[in-house]
């Protein structure tokens, strides 16, 4: 018997991840995919949860693993999935985050305005598809939802996709927020296809409720934790300050990396040149720049950069009502005096805003339950539901951040 040629990867979350397909190996070996090693899955959340230093690459690999399991379950139940479709679904989920830039959601639309990671990701997939002789064609169709077997798209991107199952599971594993645990294995066992749509068997109702509640908990306790928010706002303010004071003759703002391009030359269009530069960018560029800018003569910039490096973050408060703008203005005046900057500049040191659970909104799509008698109901329509109307509304919380 020949020794195994399959690759197995140790994953602290799932045990072992098995890879036994050449296309999957080719994708993983690609520089675009390896770049995801250098992008933190949870941006700066590690400043609050020191274990949360896992990467986008690790998350994608985990989502791939769940996709393998999901497809295996569905096939065992008789779902019609060809070998090509199976490989394409696995390729698509591996690539679903390929377009993320430095610090993912935290800097999305800040560093590179006018585009998002899904759009960039699609451009990158097309490039890779060209390199790989068109082998990603079907994966791209599944990713964009154009393929006729809609449930395969729903596994990649839907209310109960393997992306969410992995990031919730992985994020609570690495943060240590054990309460956020979801029964991903049970949900996978309960998946079924009915009328071409992905659904959950009746016995899985409580697992799905639990999944939605875990998302809610992770959202407010982790993703929107006031200190996580504070650190991400600090990074955003740093980028905004650089943009404001940038001029091409100030070499101390440049770091001789593709990052310079996005301050100096980016026109707003993700053209070939921009994409080339983007594909070389990762968290390290930003963090290196922050370390350099900490020594920059601009006081606003250096104070913010030192703050981020040494974890002297904004004090942050969240509340249900907007903050009084006069109060904020007072704070700015004091900070302007303290740091010897203008009141206008002090906007970087004290400001308000609104945090919403948009990114992780509850119930914006339907999760359908398939009952034994063949009827289908939404998760909030079952008897004695936990998930009710108000939970599906967007929640706004007002925040104030200020240096102390």
Residues 46-105 that bind its own copies (CB under 8 A): 46-47, 49-51, 53-55, 57-58, 61, 74, 76-79
CB 381 to its own copies: min, Å: 13
Cβ closest to its own copies, residue 133 vs residue 320: 320
Binding its own copies by CB under 8 A: which of 134, 176, 268, 322?
A: 176
> Which residues in 130-169 contact its own copies (CB under 8 A)?
none
Q: Give the separation between CA 135 and CA 130, rounded to whole angstroms.
A: 8
Binding mask 199-238 for its own copies (x = CB under 8 A): --x----xx-xx--xx-xx--xx-----------------
> Distance between CA 400 and CA 5 in Å, rounded?
55
132 or 213: CB nearest its own copies: 213
One DSSP character per residue, 296-346 reads SS-HHHHHHHHHHHHT-PPEEEEESSPPPHHHHHHHHHHHHHHHT--TTGG
Residues numbered 354-373 forming contacts with its own copies, rule: CB under 8 A: 370, 372
Residue from the set 272, 311, 315, 333 that interacts with its own copies by CB under 8 A: 311
- Pair of tokens at residue 241: 């300050």
Question: What residues between 265 and 304 interact with its own copies by CB under 8 A?
Answer: 280, 284-285, 287-288, 291-292
- For the bound state, the minimum distance from the C-beta of residue 31 to its own copies, rounded and expressed in Å, comes to 4
Q: Which stretch binds its own copies (CB under 8 A): 118-126, 233-241, 338-346, 384-392?
A: 384-392
Among 105, 150, 391, 392, binds its own copies (CB under 8 A): 391
10 or 344: CB nearest its own copies:
10
Q: Is 313 exposed, middle or buried (0-12, 13-18, 19+ CB in 10 A)?
A: buried
| Stretch of 260-268, 269-277, 309-317, 338-346 contacting its own copies, by CB under 8 A | 309-317
Q: CA Rg, the chain, in Å?
A: 23
Nearer residue to its own copies within complex by CB, 156 or 198? 198
Q: What is the DSSP string of 64-100?
A: HHHHHHHHHHHHHTT----HHHHHHHHHHHHHTTTT-
Please name the residue ranges forming H helices in 132-225.
137-144, 150-156, 162-175, 184-190, 205-218
Give the nearest distance from C-beta 224 to its own copies in angstroms.
11
- Minimum Å gap between C-beta 109 and its own copies is 24
Q: How far is the CB of 264 from its own copies (least distance, A)?
A: 17
User: Pairing mode, if any, of strands 368-370 and 197-201?
Assistant: parallel
| Residue span binding its own copies (CB under 8 A) among the ranges 42-50, 105-113, 264-272, 296-304 | 42-50
Count of residues in contact with its own copies, rule CB under 8 A: 85
For its own copies, which residue of 24, 386, 392, 398 counts as binding (CB under 8 A)?
386
And the tokens for 274? 């921009």
Residue bearing tokens 């007002």? 398
**Contacts of 322 by beta carbon, 8 Å cutoff, 6+ apart:** 352, 398
Neighbouring residues of 216: CB distance < 8 A, sequence distance ≥ 6:
362, 391
- Nearer Cβ to its own copies (93/193): 193
Q: State which residue, 182 or 229, has the beta carbon closest to its own copies.
A: 182
CB of 166 to its own copies, least distance (A): 13
Under 8 Å between Cβ of 245 and 341:
no
Query: Do 101 and 117 form a contact (C-beta atoms < 8 A)?
Result: yes
């Amino acid at each position: 018997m020949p020794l195994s040629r399959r690759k197995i990867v140790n994953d602290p979350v799932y045990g072992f991840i098995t890879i036994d397909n050449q296309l999957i190996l080719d994708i993983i070996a690609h520089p675009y995919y390896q770049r995801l090693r250098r992008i933190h899955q949870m941006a700066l959340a590690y400043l609050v949860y020191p274990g949360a230093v896992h990467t986008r690459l690790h998350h994608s690999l985990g989502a791939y693993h769940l996709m393998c399991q999901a497809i295996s379950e569905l096939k065992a139940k008789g779902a019609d999935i060809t070998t090509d479709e199976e490989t394409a679904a696995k390729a698509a989920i591996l690539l679903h985050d390929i377009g993320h830039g430095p610090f993912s959601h935290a800097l999305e639309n800040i560093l590179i305005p006018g585009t998002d990671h899904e759009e960039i990701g699609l451009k990158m997939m097309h490039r890779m598809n060209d390199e790989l002789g068109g082998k990603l064609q079907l994966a791209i169709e599944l990713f964009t939802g154009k393929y006729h077997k809609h449930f395969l798209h729903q596994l990649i991107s839907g209310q109960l996709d393997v992306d969410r199952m992995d990031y919730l599971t992985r994020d609570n594993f690495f943060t240590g927020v054990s309460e956020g645990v979801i029964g991903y294995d049970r949900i996978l066992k309960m998946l079924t296809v009915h009328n071409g749509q992905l659904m959950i068997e009746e016995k899985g109702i409580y697992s799905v409720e639990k999944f939605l509640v875990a998302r809610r908990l992770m959202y407010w306790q982790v993703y929107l934790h006031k200190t996580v928010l504070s650190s991400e706002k600090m990074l955003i303010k740093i980028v905004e300050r650089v943009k404001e004071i940038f001029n091409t003759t100030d070499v101390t703002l440049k770091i001789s990396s593709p990052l310079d391009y996005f301050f100096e030359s980016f026109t707003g269009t993700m053209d070939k040149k921009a994409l080339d530069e983007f594909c070389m960018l990762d968290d390290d560029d930003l963090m290196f720049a922050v370390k350099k800018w900490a020594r920059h003569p601009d006081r606003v910039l250096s104070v913010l950069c030192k703050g981020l490096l040494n974890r002297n973050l904004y004090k942050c408060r969240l509340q249900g009502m907007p903050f009084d703008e006069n109060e904020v203005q007072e704070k700015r005046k004091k900070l302007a005096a303290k740091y010897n900057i203008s009141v206008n500049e002090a906007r970087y040191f004290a400001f308000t805003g609104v945090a919403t659970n948009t990114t992780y909104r509850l119930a914006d799509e339907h999760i359908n339950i398939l009952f034994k008698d063949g009827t289908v109901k939404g998760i909030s329509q079952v008897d004695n539901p936990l998930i009710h109307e108000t939970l599906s509304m967007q929640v706004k919380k007002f925040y104030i951040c200020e240096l102390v």
